[in-house]
Chain A
């Protein structure tokens, strides 16, 4: 702050600090805080309260009848008092029904059903597999773009990589749906070639296996894996590759000992991005499975919010996913021996 003020003057330095704080507040603290708060409380179910209120109103109606047929003023007064008391009780309960009290605790997290927990674990595993497959697919691409082609070819390749991203993500996923559908492009071609009998439902049910989601996800998130890798690979001094070759190393060893170690920060960033995106992706599994493959956890979160109307459970689910993803980032960083500084680069 002091050095900022020296460099830019007090007013500007104050503005910088204020904007940074606002940024942190609006983009990180408030949404995250709201979600964590939402996840940490719940309201008791309203059924019992409504029943008690109904019962009170019954009692009040009965007392009213008794009161109307009673002649003794002393007994009338006693009944009036009883009615007023029950009325007050009912009013209090009604207020409670309208605005039930919050209870804070971790119940939203522990209340997850066995099936949902299974889907949660499976989603993490699927996301890991997508990440791994994307890494395998993208490393050669990144290598070719960054190191194995001249500057002109690299530009063409980069543009070719970016062009699909000019199309909306949903459309891209639907395109894959059309390719993998029962009567989609692949089945259609195979049927036309005579390998499959589509008229008797002899198609390959791609969409019923999780790999359909994998394919669409890899296609959707390829760029997030490729670009961090290209960025780090581009900084590799090509002389090192030549030196290794000159010293007798074969292609595999050059990749293993020279190129991959150098690309580590890029690989870590690419894996983190792809994992986060695929673990949290809603549209890709929703579209690709059409309810025929298994659900992904993100779909459960969506249902908690918009179908069960239980925002507290939904938030708890979302927070659980966030915690696991954060843990994944930390593990990746430790595994690849990269610090925040390398990733920021």
Chain B
């Protein structure tokens, strides 16, 4: 099996009057694990169904391995789709399920059942071929769906939130398993999810979508450390959001007047003095005590124990500031009024824009 690259060229999808996907360019490399992350209704499933061929784009082109897919149905594309509810065929045995794609391609029965058994072994389900999908556990059904999709030797595997029905433990296990399977077969995986944990844990690169637009495409690390827009900054991970006005900008460093006092940070957009701006600081980048460029004095309002870490909730002038620190005995007797500080590089400054959580 060889992975192919997928290119979306100015793809736009409209249903009647509503635009599900605004003009989008996307280049997914051959053999990479690519995630499309976004809240429900952001257009990510529509985009996936466009790649798989169930939806024809209103405008633009889908290219797989450099070949234009216009006019090709889902059964003619080198893709295989794993559905959110898996859509296993309940009346067929597991082996028949896996062999179905080969059956459709006219492979002889003995040959396709042999191939199905090999694929079941690949997903650690050897010997389960005779069972019915209903006899399997959630994780096993998951793996049957993967084997069934891999049976047609697709160049691109499309996954539509296939883990969402599993419980937390199994989900975490399946993440690692999916990643391992992708490494083993070496084909392109395009994974749709609203769960940032899944996207960050598995992907080579992630595209974040919001309201039909791709906000940012980058590696998981960059996505977390250097989000491009306020939406991405607040959708991925926790964030302290401080609204303010721009006082001055110089050499990519902005000085913002906020309710917590003046803050200097990295400008992520072109900012004009006097304009409204948003300062974002990750809770774990804020330290207790002084020593960094930005200092804030605030009242300790609440503490939430997370186990290995503690979220301390501070308040200043009605504004909330959450600080995540490692759990330890030194946290036992904190004064009610404290000075907090964070570096200039820890504060990212954006022009005002939509956030992920309202």
Q: Tell me the chain A residues, 230-262 only, with Cβ under 8 Å from chain B.
A: 237, 239-240, 242-250, 253, 257-258, 261-262
Instruction: Tell which of A239, A247, A248, A262 has the most Cβ of chain B within 10 Å.
Output: A247
Complex alpha-carbon distance, A262 and B81, angstroms = 22
Q: Does B74 contact A (CB under 8 A)?
A: yes
Chain A nearest Cβ from B216, distance in angstroms: 29
Contacts of B104 in A (CB 8 A): 244, 247-250, 253
Residues of B within 8 A of A246 (CB): 52-54, 74-75, 79-81
Nearest-neighbour CB distance to chain B for A300, whole angstroms, equals 43
Whether the pair B75, A250 counts as a contact (CB closer than 8 A) is yes
Q: Knowing A250-B104, A253-B104, A257-B100, say if A245 contacts B74 (CB, 8 Å).
A: yes
9 residue pairs from A and B, CB less than 8 Å apart? A240-B87, A240-B89, A243-B81, A246-B75, A247-B101, A247-B104, A250-B104, A257-B92, A258-B89
Instruction: List residues of B (49-75) whose CB comes within 8 Å of A's CBs.
Output: 52-54, 73-75
Smallest CB separation, A252 vs chain B (Å)? 11
A248 in complex: contacting residue of B84, B89, B105, CB < 8 Å: B105
Query: Given A243-B81, A246-B54, 10 other A-B contacts at CB below 8 A?
Result: A242-B74, A246-B74, A247-B80, A247-B152, A248-B104, A249-B100, A249-B103, A253-B103, A253-B104, A257-B89
Which of A237, A242, A249, A253 is in CB contact (< 8 Å) with B54? A242
Residue from B74, B91, B103, B105 within 8 A of A261 (CB atoms):
B91
Q: Report B307 CB to chain A, min CB distance, Å.
A: 38
Total interface residues on B, using CB and 8 Å?
25
Q: CA separation between A49 and B148, bound complex, in Å? A: 83
Q: B residues engaging A (CB < 8 A)?
A: 52-54, 73-75, 79-81, 83-85, 87, 89, 91-92, 100-101, 103-105, 148-149, 151-152
> Main secondary structure on chain A at its contact with chain B?
helix
**Given A242-B54, A253-B104, are A247 and B83 neighbors across the interface (CB < 8 Å)?**
no
Once the chains are docked, how many angstroms separate the CA of A249 from the CA of B148? 13
List residues of chain B with CB within 8 A of the CB of A247. Answer: 75, 80, 100-101, 104, 148-149, 151-152
A119 CB, min distance to chain B CBs, angstroms: 41
A47 to chain B, nearest CB (A): 65
Residues of B within 8 A of A257 (CB): 89, 92, 100, 103
* Contacting pair A245 B83 (CB below 8 A): no
CB distance from B200 to the nearest CB of A (A): 27
With A242-B54, A242-B74, A243-B81 as contacts: A248 and B152 at CB distance below 8 Å: yes
Known: A247-B80, A247-B101, A253-B104. A242 touches B87 (CB 8 A): yes
Report chain A residues within 8 Å CB of B152.
247-248
Contacts of A239 in B (CB 8 A): 83-85, 87
Interface core residue of B53, B91, B149 (most chain A CB under 10 Å): B91
Contact of B73 among A245, A253, A262 (CB under 8 A): A245
Q: Kindly provide the distance from the CB of B90 to the nearest chain A CB, expressed in whole angstroms.
A: 8
Please measure, in the bound complex, the distance between the C-alpha atom of A245 and the C-alpha atom of B91, giving whole angstroms: 17
Report the Cα distance A244→B104, complex, angstroms: 9
B76 to chain A, nearest CB (A): 8
Q: How far is the CB of B274 from chain A (nearest CB, A)?
A: 52
CA–CA, A257 to B97, complex, Å? 11
Q: Which residue of A lies closest to B75 (CB)?
A: A248
Please, which residues of chain A bring their CB within 8 A of the CB of B91? 261-262
Distance A243 CA – B52 CA, assembled complex (angstroms): 11
Greatest chain B CB density within 10 A among A239, A248, A250, A253 is at A248
A237 to B87, alpha carbons, bound, how many Å?
7
Residue in contact with B75 in the complex, picked from A245, A258, A261, A262, CB distance below 8 Å: A245
Q: Cα distance A246–B75 when bound, in Å?
A: 5
